[in-house]
Structure 1
Amino acid sequence: LRAAATKPVLFGALTTTVVFLALNLGGLPGMAQLGSIVGIGLMAAAVLMLAVYLPFVAKFGVNRLPARGSGRILPRGRRSWAITGILLAGASVVLVFHGMPGAEFSSKIMRPRNSEAMETFEHIQRAFPAYSGKSLGVVIEGKSDAEMLARLGEAEQRLDGAAKADLIQSPALPRGWWPDAKVQASNRPVLAALAAQKDRLVAEADAVGFSEEGIALGKGVLEALEKQATNGTGGNETIIFPQSGAAREVMRLFLTRKETGGGYLLGSVEPKDGIDAAGKDYEAFRSLTGGGIWLSGWDLFKPAIAKLVREDMTRMLVPMFILLVGMMILIFRRVADVGLALFAMVVSTVLLLAIMSLTGLKWNFVNLMATPLLLGTGIDYAIHVTLSLRRTGGDFKELWQGTGKALLFCGASNVIGFGSLVFSSSDALVSLGTVAVIGILLSMGTSIFLLPGWRHR
């Protein structure tokens, strides 16, 4: 029992761990953390299985009954290759006429199902365009007040040019909220004139019947104007900026300013009808950014994250593939077995893409996390099947009654676990569960029912 189980469990855990640890080569912190956690968990589970569970079963487990049946459920030789050819031909036809599965990197996939809160939020978006999904944020950064004002002027020029090019509607920049020393200096004579009439204005307000609260508020405003009017006398000019908690609570929605000057300011723009900021017009919107001025929004997130995902996939998959091939060479030490294991992975991948294309499933930044799982389990299943056939001399009966059924139950438990996600209220988790279930079933079916027949002579 120890000899039969040690190599498949250890090698399967190692290859799957390598796949998940390779996620650390990408640029997405969440994916890297997922890879590290799963990789550590897999190795811990393998050690626990071999060091604790296996000796327990060997000592106290029931003796294994002889294999029954002929294992005829597993197709052999030409029949296995014929089934494989039919499946690949059908998948190729689907991919040719339907195309590859698309990608959707938008906020829609995070939308919860049957949510009153979400329906209310969407109603607010329709009523207030600034909060709609089409609206893009304009983020401006300045290390000082002078730099912020200069960049505000630059942002206005860029956005005015975009408006003239019919890319956006009139931009909304809260420029007047950022303190400007020159403007404040030009306002002081007017403020001084109002402050000089403070006593008269308060008395007249009292005479016409203003409440005590209203008079107190007016008096406070006039005192603040008087303070601003006298600011700068004696050469000690400072920039006036609201300090009250109420004012800060309002302003935090669109600006933040450091005590020494500078900070961030948030405006908004809305693309005109017919403008596709995430598609054909993406480069035009991208040209508006730079120099401390950025556009942000879900429409711009899609092409940006798509580019990052493509770069990460190349950065991760190339070394991952090299490591997997190297490990399989060490495990199998036969080029034919390595080639068949990789071919099984290719077959299940092509079938997965065809099913996704046919059913309208799309890749997103959540179900992409299923790819290392599918790659790891596919290789894992192939290792178990190949080592079982080599250990039993190609006995299909032993394979089906032992390793085959064990892998079926293992795959079924994974399918049940990921399948439960389809009942989630989040479309993102539903897509993750759906892709994982389809991929696991295909990997399991290919390794158990087709791979043995490919090796049969």
Structure 2
Amino acid sequence: MRALFSKPWFIGLLILPLFIAGMIRLKLETDILATLPGEVPEVKALKLLRDGFAGGSDLLIALEAEDEFESEEAMTTLVERLQKRTDLVKEVRWAQPMEQQAQSGAALMAWALQNTDPAELKVVRERLEGEGAKVKLQQSLQAVANSLDAEKVQRASYDPLGLLDGLDASAMSALEGSMFGLVSEDGRFRLLLVTPATGVGNYKAAEAWLKQVKAEIAEWRGERKLTLRYTGEPAFQAEIGAGIEKDMSSTIGITEVLITLLFWAMFRRLKPLLWIQGLLMLSMVLTLGAGGLLVGSLSIMSLGFAAIVLGIIVDYAVLIIQEARQHPELDSKGLRRLAAPGIVAGACTTATVFLSLIFSGLPGLAELGLLVALGVLVGLGVMLAFAPKFTAGKQPPNTVVVTTGPPARHGLAVVATVLLFGGMATVFALVGLPKFQTSAESLRPTNSEAMDTLQWMQDRLGQLNEASLPILITGPANQLRDRVESLSVKLDAAVKEGLLIRQAMPTLLIGDPAAQVANREFIEWLLAEQPRLEKEVDAAGFAEAAVGLLRGVCGVWKPALAGPWPQDEANAAAAPVLGRLLATGARAENADMDKGQGVALASISLAGKPGLPDRAKLAEVQRLLTPETGAWVAGWETLGGALSTLVQHDLNQQLLPILGLISLTLLITFRSVKDLLLSVLLLGGGLGALAATMSLLNLGWNLASLAAIPLLLGTGIDYGIHILLSLKRTGNDIRHVQATTGKAVFFSGMTTVIGFSSLFFAGNRGISSLGLACCVGTLWILLIVLWLLPHWRSWLRAK
């Protein structure tokens, strides 16, 4: 048995089932919010906004026509078409014609009235008893005939009895926001909300469902000249999932092709190229299997790990080939013993730096670090196990490099060193350090039709010079109404002070069981008086539509009184609309809220543009929302500041431990303080040159690109270890080291650049900027390590 465990093939058979299980478990995570820290209040608010309310999984269809009439006609026929597809669509919501709005809004108005202040309904009853109804109807007729206020005329036309006088202005604002707000001011642009008939919990299901919906709409559209665009959760899921698949296949493929071309250009041999490709693929398969067991998913932020890993571990094979060329007399064991110290030291240092990212506040970045570290360690094992067997004693003749001529001179390197550090100092003095961008733009997709459509929708539905933001008010369900009322007072004061343009709070939409019990008497009275009131409305000369509100609310209350009373939001006739504004009970618990908690959705408008609020005023609003209010601004606009503070805090906490680990590894590897200081100078020069380049190009750090600092520390020190150890072995023979180990390090560095450059095309702006920073930083480090570092060491040793 002991003999079997010494066989690599037997060990491989034992671990094979684990890797297969990992591959089966591995899935693509398309949720952008899953890559962000769930404990941050602003992230919680976004998740709650999406998961806590009905409509969180809706598809938003934006439609624009050449005129208002054509837009309304197109939307009406499209709704009729989709409503027939009950296999695809559960519910549709749109800006309906006025008569349909009155019918669909009756349930909501009935709910608001039964939860309003009983004293207000008592006043309404007193006004309508006896001859009072005739007096009120005459007042409404005069308003219709003489008032110059269009809103007052409309109100008197559909509510001549004044039933809605029992609701205050803020409640009516919330009601109007619930029923309307899906059409632009010019009437040309309209929005349709489509709820899927079945769950679309993964991107494959979302993509298939969206394809069916689009096919149905394409058949309906025919020759109509319309603009139709799609956004919402299904569109984002389908788009991001397909993007991850494309990024994974294209980045790995492009990286492989470029590495192959580079290898052929430098070594001109086919056989090593084939086995290197085989070992790279084996390393990736094993890494994906291990990643599936440990992580379980690949997110939009971690999908670039494969290209990074390929760029790093191919270095180990090339370094082994280079040692085999220089020492053709060694067998595989001897070659492994010679090459292993430098490769192991570099791999362990690189893996340690990437592993430090698991302490990042961004789960997506932590996942990226873990997967890269796994890939580096797996690749280290694979290359040390197999590469010496493929290379020892099998190199072509005349591959040993023999350098001739005088020793390398330091003059040009001294000038370059002065220019490098002098240039950095000049740039920092004149331009300054790169600024840190606190916006959340780096977390958004790079090219996203769904995101562009969402922005277009906000522009068309919003006011040109203001930005609207959702507010979530949370707390115990039985205290939610009080919290909303208290916050409404605060925000009303903010409107008067000019901080806000407007605010809409769903105060009277929040259930009040005590008010319902007290208002039952009024409801029973109104049901009894309904025939009389309808006759008096008709006798006063109003149109048939004028009794629509009375009939609507009475039609809601009649069956409601026969059931459990008081009602809760889930059992009310208005539940479909209430679910979009309130979350209590099971829905709140499904959104990870504690039992007994609830949340209400409000909105504010402040100066700015759609999607771009005035940052100073937004900060003031956030200061108003103290913890005791239980209120958060739920928008990407507030996310950047919170996450940037967290990321900078993480960097400050991680940088010193990382530097400490690197220093310890270097001391163990070199057993020389001078070589340790040279390594620090190498890293400082590379990172400083990167920062100077970013300042000159007017580029700043963002939430994702800051991760380039620990990544460059890991990859940069790897190159330094190989060059310094080679210099140590050859007695600082610069020409020899540059022609041998330097050639391998150049190949290694360029493959790393290739790996990072593939991130340019990632579907996430942050990952793309991370790839750019890593590429530029790696190129600077390569320049220093291949040219200047050997001269620095030679000069120090000579001194």
| TM-score normalised by structure 1 residue count | 0.85
Q: Secondary structure of the residue that 1:264 maps to in structure 2?
A: strand
Structure 2 counterpart of 1:406, one-letter code: A
In 2, the alpha carbon distance for the partners of 1:66 and 1:380 equals 24
Q: Percent identity?
A: 34
In 2, the alpha carbon distance for the partners of 1:373 and 1:351 equals 15
Matching residue within 80, 87, 90 for 2:420: 87
Using a 3 Å threshold, how does the CA distance of structure 1 residues 132 and 75 change in structure 2: closer, same or farther?
farther
Using a 3 Å threshold, how does the CA distance of structure 1 residues 339 and 76 change in structure 2: closer, same or farther?
farther
User: Which deviates the most, 445-454 or 337-346?
Assistant: 445-454
In 2, the alpha carbon distance for the partners of 1:13 and 1:131 equals 55
In 1, the alpha carbon distance for the partners of 2:465 and 2:581 equals 16
In 2, the alpha carbon distance for the partners of 1:337 and 1:442 equals 19
Matching residue within 778, 786, 791 for 1:440: 778
In 1, the alpha carbon distance for the partners of 2:439 and 2:644 equals 11
Report whether the alignment pairs 1:127 with 2:460. yes
In 1, the alpha carbon distance for the partners of 2:632 and 2:743 equals 56
Report whether the alignment pairs 1:167 with 2:499. yes
Matching residue within 601, 604, 622 for 1:285: 622
User: Which deviates the most, 316-325 or 119-128?
Assistant: 119-128
Matching residue within 640, 646, 649 for 1:308: 646
Q: What does residue 265 of structure 1 align with?
A: 600
Using a 3 Å threshold, how does the CA distance of structure 1 residues 71 and 278 change in structure 2: closer, same or farther?
farther
Q: Secondary structure of the residue that 1:312 maps to in structure 2?
A: helix
Q: Secondary structure of the residue that 1:456 maps to in structure 2?
A: helix
Aligned residues: 445
In 2, the alpha carbon distance for the partners of 1:32 and 1:3 equals 33
Q: What does residue 13 of structure 1 align with?
A: 347
1:285, distance to aligned residue in structure 2 (A): 2.3
Q: What does residue 434 of structure 2 align with?
A: 101
Q: What does residue 211 of structure 2 align with?
A: none
In 2, the alpha carbon distance for the partners of 1:277 and 1:71 equals 67
Q: Answer whether contact 1:137 1:267 (CA < 8 A) is retained.
A: yes
Q: What does residue 377 of structure 1 align with?
A: 715
Q: What does residue 189 of structure 1 align with?
A: 521
**Structure 1 unaligned blocks of 5 or more:** 205-209
Q: What does residue 209 of structure 2 align with?
A: none
Q: Answer whether contact 1:76 1:456 (CA < 8 A) is retained.
A: no
Using a 3 Å threshold, how does the CA distance of structure 1 residues 299 and 70 change in structure 2: closer, same or farther?
farther
1:219, distance to aligned residue in structure 2 (A): 7.9
Q: Answer whether contact 1:68 1:397 (CA < 8 A) is retained.
A: no
In 2, the alpha carbon distance for the partners of 1:378 and 1:26 equals 21
Using a 3 Å threshold, how does the CA distance of structure 1 residues 164 and 63 change in structure 2: closer, same or farther?
farther
Q: Secondary structure of the residue that 2:600 maps to in structure 1?
A: strand
1:9, distance to aligned residue in structure 2 (A): 0.5
Report whether the alignment pairs 1:178 with 2:178. no
1:437, distance to aligned residue in structure 2 (A): 1.0
Report whether the alignment pairs 1:154 with 2:489. no
1:229, distance to aligned residue in structure 2 (A): 4.8
Structure 1 counterpart of 2:435, one-letter code: G
Structure 2 counterpart of 1:258, one-letter code: G
Report whether the alignment pairs 1:399 with 2:732. no
Report whether the alignment pairs 1:24 with 2:375. no
Q: What does residue 664 of structure 2 align with?
A: 326
Q: Answer whether contact 1:159 1:288 (CA < 8 A) is retained.
A: no
1:161, distance to aligned residue in structure 2 (A): 3.4
State the Cα deviation string for residues 101-143 of structure 1 (Å, max 9, x = none). Answer: 1222434345556655444322211122399994333111122
Q: Secondary structure of the residue that 2:392 maps to in structure 1?
A: helix
Q: Answer whether contact 1:340 1:451 (CA < 8 A) is retained.
A: yes
In 2, the alpha carbon distance for the partners of 1:64 and 1:40 equals 37
1:454, distance to aligned residue in structure 2 (A): 0.2
1:149, distance to aligned residue in structure 2 (A): 1.4
Structure 2 counterpart of 1:128, one-letter code: L
Q: Secondary structure of the residue that 1:239 maps to in structure 2?
A: coil
Q: Answer whether contact 2:345 2:721 (CA < 8 A) is retained.
A: yes
1:451, distance to aligned residue in structure 2 (A): 0.5
Q: Secondary structure of the residue that 1:270 maps to in structure 2?
A: strand
Q: Secondary structure of the residue that 2:374 maps to in structure 1?
A: helix
Q: Secondary structure of the residue that 1:272 maps to in structure 2?
A: strand
Using a 3 Å threshold, how does the CA distance of structure 1 residues 167 and 133 change in structure 2: closer, same or farther?
closer
Q: What does residue 389 of structure 1 align with?
A: 727
Q: Answer whether contact 2:440 2:640 (CA < 8 A) is retained.
A: no
Q: Secondary structure of the residue that 2:667 maps to in structure 1?
A: helix
In 2, the alpha carbon distance for the partners of 1:186 and 1:416 equals 72
1:90, distance to aligned residue in structure 2 (A): 1.1
In 2, the alpha carbon distance for the partners of 1:430 and 1:441 equals 17
Report whether the alignment pairs 1:337 with 2:337. no
Q: Answer whether contact 1:159 1:171 (CA < 8 A) is retained.
A: yes
Q: Answer whether contact 2:608 2:614 (CA < 8 A) is retained.
A: no
In 2, the alpha carbon distance for the partners of 1:155 and 1:361 equals 40
Structure 1 counterpart of 2:554, one-letter code: L
Structure 2 counterpart of 1:20, one-letter code: F
Structure 1 counterpart of 2:342, one-letter code: P
Using a 3 Å threshold, how does the CA distance of structure 1 residues 182 and 254 change in structure 2: closer, same or farther?
same
User: Which deviates the most, 262-271 or 331-340?
Assistant: 262-271
Structure 1 counterpart of 2:732, one-letter code: G
Q: Answer whether contact 1:76 1:454 (CA < 8 A) is retained.
A: no
Q: Answer whether contact 2:465 2:607 (CA < 8 A) is retained.
A: no
In 1, the alpha carbon distance for the partners of 2:365 and 2:486 equals 37
1:261, distance to aligned residue in structure 2 (A): 5.7
Report whether the alignment pairs 1:58 with 2:392. yes
Q: What does residue 207 of structure 1 align with?
A: none
**Structure 2 unaligned blocks of 5 or more:** 1-334, 537-543, 587-594
1:356, distance to aligned residue in structure 2 (A): 0.6
Structure 1 counterpart of 2:699, one-letter code: L
Q: Answer whether contact 1:374 1:436 (CA < 8 A) is retained.
A: yes
In 2, the alpha carbon distance for the partners of 1:76 and 1:134 equals 64
1:71, distance to aligned residue in structure 2 (A): 9.1
Q: What does residue 769 of structure 2 align with?
A: 431
Q: Secondary structure of the residue that 1:141 maps to in structure 2?
A: strand
1:381, distance to aligned residue in structure 2 (A): 0.7
In 2, the alpha carbon distance for the partners of 1:75 and 1:199 equals 108
| TM-score normalised by structure 2 residue count | 0.51
1:235-254 paired onto structure 2 within 5 Å: 237-243=565-571, 247-254=574-581
1:343, distance to aligned residue in structure 2 (A): 0.5
Q: Secondary structure of the residue that 1:140 maps to in structure 2?
A: strand
Q: Answer whether contact 1:422 1:430 (CA < 8 A) is retained.
A: yes
Using a 3 Å threshold, how does the CA distance of structure 1 residues 154 and 131 change in structure 2: closer, same or farther?
farther
Matching residue within 749, 755, 758 for 1:417: 755
Q: Which has the higher contact order (CA 8 A, sep 6+)?
A: 1
Q: Answer whether contact 1:133 1:298 (CA < 8 A) is retained.
A: no
Q: Secondary structure of the residue that 2:504 maps to in structure 1?
A: coil
Q: What does residue 583 of structure 2 align with?
A: 256
Using a 3 Å threshold, how does the CA distance of structure 1 residues 79 and 4 change in structure 2: closer, same or farther?
farther
In 1, the alpha carbon distance for the partners of 2:522 and 2:405 equals 97
State the Cα deviation string for residues 170-213 of structure 1 (Å, max 9, x = none). Answer: 21222222112244345333322332256889999xxxxx9xxx
In 2, the alpha carbon distance for the partners of 1:180 and 1:71 equals 93
Structure 2 counterpart of 1:252, one-letter code: G
In 1, the alpha carbon distance for the partners of 2:437 and 2:400 equals 51
